[in-house]
Amino acid sequence: MAPVAIDERPAPPKYHEPVQGTVYHGDGREEALLKHLQSLPELQNNPGTQPVLDAIHEFGKGENRYLMSVGDTKGTGIEKLINEKKPKVSGQARVGADIAGLITSGLMKLVLELGSYVGYSAICFARHLPKLHPDSIYPANWTGDVNEDKAGYISLEKSEVYAATARGALELAGLGDVVKIVTGSSTPSLKNLRKTLNLPRPLKFDMVFIDHLKPLYTNDLKVMEEEGLVAPGTIIVADNVVKPGNPPYLSYVRATPAQKRAMLDRPPLKTQPATTPNPADANDWETAFCDGPLEETLWTPDESDGVTGRGDPDLVYSSEMIGGWDPYTGERDACEVSVCLRKESN
């Protein structure tokens, strides 16, 4: 694999110091954000989506108001990668714009997001769905028939408070009927998603955006594989794979079926292993963790609420890291874009 492309564009302005280890959410700022959005005269009476996104981003620049949204400065050429079904690094771009581009292309009709927070990414990515698929917008009820023509964006969020903020922001953006937020812990939510939403089987999501609790990424992907929510043709975009980093997840999506099968023969870990660090050198991020799943993938975090995914080791991914920045701290970060290519028969 080629080393990660060095970004030639300037990093975005730095509005906040790095937030790791400090209080950066859940201190009332999310409720304050909703009140603020609802008070802005320019956001009343169907302002469209961009003014709402801009207002959220502006709010996040204030003191103690950092927001853990994806922002619009991460990633590179994702639309192109996916359209070609052949991921390769091709320079830096804006992840928000690119994922929106995938949806605009009409390829992405059903999108699943893990981690709504205040709704920034949901607004950004779902806003094209009503124009492209006016007759098939979720959450019109499914009958459970796989031939139904549906489009929509389902977002899972653990916090009722954040979900309320996201719903309020989505209402202002005119997307209240397009994005369905399901509250609760992601792992049991995924296990029960078909039942909860009466989704037909087989039915996969066209895109999954993973952006919630970092130690849950791998286990939740395995649960989605088992449930058939992720299947050949699904594109998985996982945020924050550099900052704070997620070596176990990268090692899983970059592993071959044979490597994953070998790992499954080993018993699950009973205690949490030490966390594997990211490589110190940015040039190694793109090529690291290709030797098979790390031991940490045998550990199920407590936050998965007792739901352990074994995954489907036969699924083959083509996986690529897409660089960018945190929207407020200017720190380097990246998304991992993994295209599920096929199921290998052994």
Ligand X SMILES: C[S@@+](CC[C@H](N)C(=O)[O-])C[C@H]1O[C@@H](n2cnc3c(N)ncnc32)[C@H](O)[C@@H]1O
Binding site for ligand X (CB under 6 A): 68-70, 115, 117, 120-121, 156-159, 162, 185-186, 211-213, 216, 303
Tell me the residue type at 77: G
CA dihedral in degrees (87, 92, 97, 98; nearest 10)?
-10
Contact 103, 111 (CB under 8 A): yes
Residue closer to ligand X by CB (options 180, 260) is 180
Helix (H, G, I), strand (E, B) or coil at 82: helix
Residue closer to ligand X by CB (options 187, 297) is 187
Q: What does the alpha-carbon distance between residue 114 and residue 324 come to, in Å, rounded to a whole number? A: 20
Residue closer to ligand X by CB (options 66, 138) is 66
The sign of the dihedral angle between the CA atoms of 281, 340, 342, 101 is negative
Task: Select the residue whose beta carbon is closest to ligand X and give its number.
Answer: 115
Q: H-helix or E-strand containing 251? A: helix 247-253
Tell me the residue type at 234: T
Closest distance to ligand X from the beta carbon of 192 (Å): 13
For residue 192, count CB atoms less than 10 angstroms from its CB and return exposed for 0-12, middle for 13-18, buried for 19 or more: middle
Q: What does the alpha-carbon distance between residue 279 and residue 200 come to, in Å, rounded to a whole number? A: 42
Residue closer to ligand X by CB (options 164, 262) is 164
Residue closer to ligand X by CB (options 133, 214) is 214
Closest distance to ligand X from the beta carbon of 71 (Å): 7
Closest distance to ligand X from the beta carbon of 107 (Å): 21
Closest distance to ligand X from the beta carbon of 161 (Å): 9
Residue closer to ligand X by CB (options 213, 264) is 213
Peptide bond into 202 cis (omega under 30): yes
Closest distance to ligand X from the beta carbon of 26 (Å): 8
Closest distance to ligand X from the beta carbon of 216 (Å): 6
